[in-house]
């Protein structure tokens, strides 16, 4: 009987050592230690043994059982460790590899300029207004003192949508919309950034471009307020040692009107290619709000006065970043855009 037991133990241990996976180990466990397993069967036959041999036989069975269990557990543990090691190896990350590049977008240069201008004027207590891009003739022209057949309408050859609506040719209509909303309150102190459209297309003109309108209405607003405001703006935008120059000009909605030049930031005013040897660069149009415009929007020009200005965003961006062709802003060429 003991021989048979030894034989069984030997077989069992050999088979356990050969098992290739946990399932096979489990099968062997059932085969030897299960309810109908070989060792269990032998234990059942203890009654066939002489009574005095039984304790020894029982002991021997227990020993074999223990050794099979121990081997089984040992192999299970080894297998688990192997599997874990294999899995870790498969899933391991080489943290010394260079990272994969994610292409991040950048802020468009025109948006950068608009944000910068907004920041400067918000700092001076202005708020930001917006208006529709499809505008009526009334707001785009008439309310800005440009009646039908007025020759100045030709200054802004525009895209009509219907007989009386058009893609706005300037952000100035937002002046009127804001005044109508605010009247009779003062002060009005707003800027309005936005897209505008004109029939124009060359290296410095695009059929779609951007302006930032400014409007201030209050009691006793004077030309010197306009000049001081623009000087503050220009110095923050183009450098603390910039000077400005107001040149008499004409806009139907301002009287008097002025075009504003800044001292050239490339040469400091000595004359260079950027300022075409004049020492000055034109950056915006401005003026004192025409009494007719105030009146049409409901304000009393005897009570309040105001100034307004219009900044060309593309022009500022071209000057600031030295860009020679306006069309680059709208071609979406990453080689251009990724430089900002
Ligand atoms: N709207 C003018 C244009 O598009 C720019 C402008 C000039 C706006 C003078 C103003 C202003 O508010 O006062 O040419």
| 279 CA from centroid of ligand 1 (Å) | 23
Q: Which atom of ligand 1 is nearest to the CA of 214?
A: 12
pLDDT higher than threshold 90 for residue 256: yes
- Asked if 39 contacts 1 with a C-beta cutoff of 8 angstroms, the reply is no
pLDDT at 43: 84
- Asked if 327 contacts 203 with a C-beta cutoff of 8 angstroms, the reply is yes
pLDDT digits (tens, 9 = 90+) for 125-156: 999 999 999 999 999 999 999 998 887 777 77
Q: Does residue 170's CB lie within 6 angstroms of at least one atom of ligand 1? A: yes
pLDDT at 47: 83
Q: Does residue 9's CB lie within 6 angstroms of at least one atom of ligand 1? A: no
| 66 CA from centroid of ligand 1 (Å) | 98
Residue in 170, 188, 283, 312 to alter for ligand 1 test, most ligand atoms within 8 A of Cβ: 170
pLDDT higher than threshold 70 for residue 227: yes
pTM of the model: 0.73
pLDDT higher than threshold 70 for residue 233: yes
Q: Which atom of ligand 1 is nearest to the CA of 155?
A: 14
Q: Does residue 308's CB lie within 6 angstroms of at least one atom of ligand 1? A: yes
Q: Does domain 109-337 have CATH number 3.30.930.10?
A: yes
| 155 CA from centroid of ligand 1 (Å) | 11
| 331 CA from centroid of ligand 1 (Å) | 27
Q: Does residue 307's CB lie within 6 angstroms of at least one atom of ligand 1? A: no
**CB under 8 Å to 83, separation ≥6 — which residues?**
none
| 258 CA from centroid of ligand 1 (Å) | 10
- Asked if 122 contacts 186 with a C-beta cutoff of 8 angstroms, the reply is no
pLDDT bracket for residue 2 (50, 70, 90): confident
pLDDT bracket for residue 1 (50, 70, 90): low
Tokens of 15: 């088979």
| 247 CA from centroid of ligand 1 (Å) | 14
| 251 CA from centroid of ligand 1 (Å) | 7
In the block, tokens 């292409």 appear at: 103
Beta-carbon count within 10 A of 29 CB: 19
* Mean pLDDT of the residues in the chain: 93
Across 95-99, 216-220, 280-284, least confident range: 95-99
Q: Which residues pair with 167 in a beta bridge?
A: 134
Residue nearest to atom 12 of ligand 1 (CA): 309
pLDDT digits (tens, 9 = 90+) for 270-327: 999 888 999 999 999 999 999 999 999 999 999 999 999 999 999 999 988 989 899 9
Tokens of 193: 């950034």
Q: Does residue 158's CB lie within 6 angstroms of at least one atom of ligand 1? A: no
């Amino acid at each position: 009987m003991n021989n048979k037991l030894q034989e069984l133990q030997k077989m069992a241990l050999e088979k356990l050592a050969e098992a290739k996976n946990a399932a096979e180990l489990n099968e062997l466990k059932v085969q030897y230690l299960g309810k109908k397993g070989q060792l269990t069967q032998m234990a059942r036959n203890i009654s066939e043994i002489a009574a005095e041999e039984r304790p020894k036989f029982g002991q021997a069975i227990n020993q074999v059982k223990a050794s099979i269990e121990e081997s089984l557990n040992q192999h299970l543990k080894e297998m688990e460790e192997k599997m874990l090691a294999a899995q870790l190896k498969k899933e391991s990350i080489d943290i010394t590899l260079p990272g994969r590049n994610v292409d991040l977008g950048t802020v468009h240069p025109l948006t950068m300029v608009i944000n910068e201008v907004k920041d400067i004027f918000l700092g001076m207590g202005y708020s930001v207004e917006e208006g529709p891009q499809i505008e009526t003739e009334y707001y785009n022209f008439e309310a800005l003192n440009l009646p039908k057949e007025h020759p100045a309408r030709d200054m802004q050859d525009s895209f009509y949508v219907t007989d009386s609506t058009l893609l706005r040719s300037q952000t100035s209509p937002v002046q009127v919309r804001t005044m109508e909303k605010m009247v009779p309150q003062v002060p009005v102190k707003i800027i309005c950034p936005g897209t505008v459209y004109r029939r124009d297309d060359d290296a410095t003109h695009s059929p779609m471009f951007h302006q930032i309108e400014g409007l201030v209405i209050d009691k006793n607003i004077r030309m010197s307020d306009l000049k001081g405001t623009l000087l503050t703006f220009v110095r923050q935008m183009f450098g603390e040692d910039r000077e400005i120059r107001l040149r008499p000009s004409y806009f139907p909605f301002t009287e008097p009107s002025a075009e504003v030049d800044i001292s050239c930031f490339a040469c400091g005013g000595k004359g260079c290619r950027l300022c075409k040897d004049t020492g000055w660069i034109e950056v915006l149009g401005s003026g004192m709000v025409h009494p007719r415009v105030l009146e049409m929007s409901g304000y009393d020009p005897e009570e309040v006065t105001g100034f307004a200005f219009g900044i060309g965003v593309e022009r500022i961006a071209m000057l600031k970043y030295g860009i020679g062709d306006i069309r680059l802003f709208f071609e979406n060429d990453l080689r251009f855009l990724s430089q900002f």
